[in-house]
Amino acid sequence: MSVMSEKTPLLHYRLSATPDPKDVAKGAGTQSGRGSKETRSRKLGVMFGVVTPTLLSMFSVVVFLRIGFVVGQAGLYQAVAMFLVAYLIITMTVFSVCAISTNGALDAGGAYYMISRALGPEFGGSIGIMFFFANVCGSALYILGLVEAMLSTFGVPEAGEAVISGPYQVLPSGYWWSVLYATGLLFVCFTVCLVGAHIYAKAAFIILVIVVSVLAAIFLSFFIVTPVVVILPAASVLNSTGLIFANFTGFHLHTLKNNLLPSYTVDYTTGVTMNFATVFAVMFNGCTGIMAGSNMSGDLKNPSYSIPRGTLAAVLITFITYNLLSLLAAMSCDRVLLQRDYGFMGDINIWPPMVKVGIYSSAISAAMSNLIGASRILYALSKDNLFGGVLALVRKTSPSGNPWASVLVSWLLVQMVLFAGKLNTIAGIVTIFFLLVYAAVNLACLALEWASAPNFRPSFRFFTWHTCTLGIIGCLVMMFMIDAIYAFASVAFMLLLLMLIHYLGPISNWGYISQALIFHQVRKYLLMLDVRKDHVKFWRPQVLLMVANPRSCTGLMTFINDLKKSGLYVVGHVRLGILDGLPSDPLQSRYDSWLSLVDHLNIKAFVNLTLAESIRRGIQNLLFITGLGGMRPNTIVLGFYDDCTPQDHLQGKILLSVGSGMDTASLTKKPGEQRCPFFPNVRLAEEAKDLREEEYVSIIADAVRMGKNVVLARYFNEFEREKVLGLGKKIASPQTGAGPFVDIWPLNLLQPDNHGYVDICSLFLLQLACVLQETRSWKQARLRLFLCVEAGGSLQEKEETKLRMMLKELRISAQVQMVSWDQVVALHWRRREGSHCGNLAGRDDIKVFPNNAALLTDEYIIAVNNLILHHGEPKPAVRFLYLPRPPADTSLYSAYRRHLDILSQDLGPTLLIHGVTPVVTIDL
């Protein structure tokens, strides 16, 4: 939007479209340690370091060229309202800046440092890159605008231009001449920035004195200059060939009344009809630049002291100045003068060239501050090593700590932009880039406030989450009000950079606000997860998998990850020992390796380690304490107790442990080399186990007594998930017979005198199998349900009908296969003289059987094992078997374990499952 006089139309447009002249004026170090160079470079106080750059940033050329435009179009009432709204938005952002800057030591880097340390490297790096390019383009914009302003006064008209030459028009015009003048001015700025920030601060202070002097002359002119008639530029009045006049009336009540209400008309520099939104967007550009002082953080003696005081003082001064100038202009200038001559302040000044001096001074200051700001951002990015060795060369500094290499690179980039010549398109997106940075600062402060982090306690207290939210909303609204297309483009660019840094950038140790926010929300929702409100229809498996040595059970860990159905999954481990006499907890240093393993296996699991004098006591402790509130394990998974020699599935793997958990695995150069120091080698065949047979069965009994479902996993060292599921290959639909099978044997095969298929444990088997099938990777799996019946038995058809009806009611799709086992069960009856033959008639659908006290023979169990093997074609991916409850008599524990061993011998990956809680319902 254009607001300059006809004499400098291009300068006006570009300067009005570019906000933040001095954002990121200084500072780039991002490491907490400060060397002697950085210490020597911290010399600036409140006035030179904060107030001066912020005032020049916010004034820029706005104070000379936009006041008349705003009052002439919107009227005094709406102009004041616009300033109030605009300053409300930027004040909210200033509050966030002050809060972050007073929350501990603030290093060099300014806004980039604040955002990156609060929101993490991805967000900070993407905003930093955008801020860098915005400053580079902003510096070029101001240089080109200054050149065009100078040529409008001192330039020789080009051939064909119908312009009367004046006595001062001595500079040759043309594209290459403009590039030459711009290059010279840029070199002056480069020289100042190359010397150091202290020279820049002194130069900026001199420019501030000039700008304040010009403002003082303008204020005096309103009182001293007598009423005059101003000849308007011919181009300011459309379709007119004659001279047009407007009046400077001096202070007059009638003039004030005529300027109170809005009178939107066509902008004479662009031909666009104005409205409240367009005028507000143009005016708001003059209120930005609030972080120019905070971006000098690397050069301030005491940033936490200087930034809040200096920034708030500058904001207050500019607010008063803008409103006073608006009031004086409304009281003394005709509406036509305000609407048709944006450079009217020069026409009514006691010495007209002073306004030109103010414009030139503010423009060169803006260009200089954008250049030094861009260099500091680039230096900060290079020190943080977010882009690896790409920015390594720009880390070089002078003996005084000035990053001359980054200044040089920034200067070269600005010089390249200068060759573009016409930057009206870039100007709009540069403005939006700055606004996006302001929104990010508010977001950083809001995130820190919402996270309730104990270490976030800034000494600046005049902010709340409400002020941060208002700042974010205000900045985003202004972005889309200025230009919706550029706003979308800038947000998309930021998201692209964010993803690139996330996936390609190194890991930082700054801390992640996301972790604090997640902790805050998880704690809140865990409190809301009331166990008293649990219902069976929302049951899901929450698993505690006990792992002795992860080297030998990676297959089981990945399988249980599929079985959990979005439930809690905890990997537990017990280390034998007692804490007495140890200098510290030996398990704390081991969590990193376990978490690295979890990342390597790509499973969604927590890790819980404990120290105990026995395996049984350790598992009891984990069952008691694992989880929080309503999120506790309801199922424990144990490896099977047998004589198989463990296999090392991590042999030759490197688990790199880094703080973020983004670990990698690869092959070592020497396969036998030990690369996982916290995972001991697997047990050799001749080595004794840490767990006795009776203790193992006692653990099962303990879990049942504690109301936990028990799963024993056997032969999962043979389980190859990728091969079983055909991952990476095209899998046909279930109708083609290409999917893996999951076999379910819901009968208690070790207690055949009970023929029930619908007790709690049987239904738990069905539910787990159904949960596995609903997992995305197992969608192609087919369930096979084996129903053992006696040929000629009176209950055969009834039992099958009953089972099929139950499956239909439970919405479980499975192939029911009838298995005749007369010869097998006959082996059991011969040992069960006088045994009771259970009758299902009149029994409830859900039955709980007594402890297994059957007198079983090895012959019978081997026959059952052969029966399962015989009906296992095609070979299933996994089998689900009924696990009987451990006997009440502890002297039978050894026999119980041996029976399970024979039953599951050579069956391949098998789960023996004992369920103790209802898990299915037919209710909606």
pLDDT at 659 over 50: no
Can you spell out the DSSP letters for 291-336? TTTGGGGGGBS-HHHHHHHHHHHHHHHHHHHHHHHHHHHHHHB-HH
How confident is the model over 546-588, as pLDDT tens digits? 998 888 888 899 999 998 878 899 999 999 988 887 888 888 8
Question: Which residue has 């861009």 as its token pair?
Answer: 374
- Exposed/middle/buried for 512, CB within 10 Å: 0-12, 13-18, 19+? middle
Report yes or no: 665 and 655 within 8 Å, Cβ to Cβ.
yes
**DSSP β-bridge partners for residue 574:** 610
How confident is the model over 285-331, as pLDDT tens digits? 667 778 777 767 777 888 888 888 999 999 999 999 999 999 999 99
Task: Give the per-residue pLDDT at 106.
Answer: 67
Summarize the chain as % helix, strand, coil (round to 5). Answer: 55, 10, 35
What confidence tier does 41 reach under pLDDT thresholds 50, 70, 90?
Answer: low
pLDDT at 497 over 80: yes
Whether residue 561 sits in one domain with residue 500: no
Residue 31 inside a domain? The answer is no
The mean-pLDDT minimum among 386-390, 664-668, 725-729 falls in: 664-668
Instruction: Residue 611: name the closest of 582, 640, 639 by CA.
Output: 582
Which two three-digit tokens encode residue 508?
A: 């930082």
Instruction: Residue 374: name the closest of 321, 427, 418, 412 by CA.
Output: 412
Query: What are the start-end ranges of the E strands in 703-814?
Result: 709-714, 741-745, 782-789
Quote the CA–CA distance of 766 and 758 in Å, as a whole number.
10
Residue 351, φ and ψ in degrees, nearest 5: -140, 95
Instruction: Residue 370: name the closest of 411, 408, 334, 317 by CA.
Output: 411
Task: Give the per-residue pLDDT at 793.
Answer: 56
Whether residue 589 sits in one domain with residue 442: no
The mean-pLDDT minimum among 710-724, 795-809, 860-874 falls in: 795-809
What confidence tier does 37 reach under pLDDT thresholds 50, 70, 90?
Answer: very low
Whether residue 546 sits in one domain with residue 492: no
Q: What is the CATH number of the domain that holds 699?
A: 3.40.50.12370
What confidence tier does 839 reach under pLDDT thresholds 50, 70, 90?
Answer: very low
Task: Give the per-residue pLDDT at 721.
Answer: 85
pLDDT at 388 over 70: no
Quote the CA–CA distance of 707 and 711 in Å, as a whole number.
13
- Residue ranges making up the domain that contains 806: 536-646+687-725+739-829+853-914
Whether residue 429 sits in one domain with residue 552: no
pLDDT at 263 over 70: yes
> How many beta carbons lie within 10 A of that of residue 900, not counting itself?
24
Instruction: Residue 596: name the closest of 668, 545, 654 by CA.
Output: 654
Q: At a CB cut-off of 8 Å and minimum separation 6, what does 166 contact?
A: none
Q: What is the CATH number of the domain that holds 480?
A: 1.20.1740.10
pLDDT at 27 over 50: no
What confidence tier does 726 reach under pLDDT thresholds 50, 70, 90?
Answer: confident
Task: Give the per-residue pLDDT at 835.
Answer: 44
Averaged pLDDT for residues 69-82: 92
Residue 454 inside a domain? The answer is yes
Whether residue 163 sits in one domain with residue 119: yes
Peptide bond into 308 cis (omega under 30): no
- The pLDDT mean for the chain works out to 78
- Residue bearing the bigger pLDDT, 92 or 229: 92
Strongest mean pLDDT among 97-111, 218-232, 382-396, 527-541: 218-232
| pTM confidence score | 0.66
Task: Give the per-residue pLDDT at 529.
Answer: 82
Question: How many structural domains comprise the chain?
Answer: 2
Instruction: Residue 709: name the closest of 639, 761, 771 by CA.
Output: 761
- Residue bearing the bigger pLDDT, 358 or 424: 358
The mean-pLDDT minimum among 799-803, 827-831, 847-851 falls in: 847-851
Residue 614 inside a domain? The answer is yes
Residue 662 inside a domain? The answer is no
Residue 838 inside a domain? The answer is no
Whether residue 546 sits in one domain with residue 490: no
Residue 571 inside a domain? The answer is yes
pLDDT at 40 over 90: no
Residue 296 inside a domain? The answer is yes
Quote the CA–CA distance of 663 and 216 in Å, as a whole number.
63
The mean-pLDDT minimum among 360-369, 429-438, 653-662 falls in: 653-662
Whether residue 71 sits in one domain with residue 149: yes
**DSSP β-bridge partners for residue 545:** 571, 637
Task: Give the per-residue pLDDT at 860.
Answer: 87
Whether residue 603 sits in one domain with residue 498: no
How confident is the model over 480-494, as pLDDT tens digits? 888 888 889 888 888
Quote the CA–CA distance of 176 and 239 in Å, as a whole number.
33
Whether residue 184 sits in one domain with residue 97: yes
Residue 5 inside a domain? The answer is no
Whether residue 548 sits in one domain with residue 487: no
What confidence tier does 846 reach under pLDDT thresholds 50, 70, 90?
Answer: very low
Strongest mean pLDDT among 39-48, 152-161, 434-443, 497-506: 434-443
> What percentage of the chain has pLDDT greater than the value 70?
79
Whether residue 812 sits in one domain with residue 768: yes
Given CA atoms 818, 824, 828, 833 in this order, what sign does their dihedral have?
A: positive
- Residue bearing the bigger pLDDT, 431 or 545: 545
Whether residue 572 sits in one domain with residue 481: no
For 124, the enclosing helix (H) or strand (E) is helix 121-154
Which two three-digit tokens encode residue 164?
A: 């009367």
Quote the CA–CA distance of 477 and 641 in Å, as a whole number.
65
Output the CA torsion 60→61→63→66 (10° steps): -130
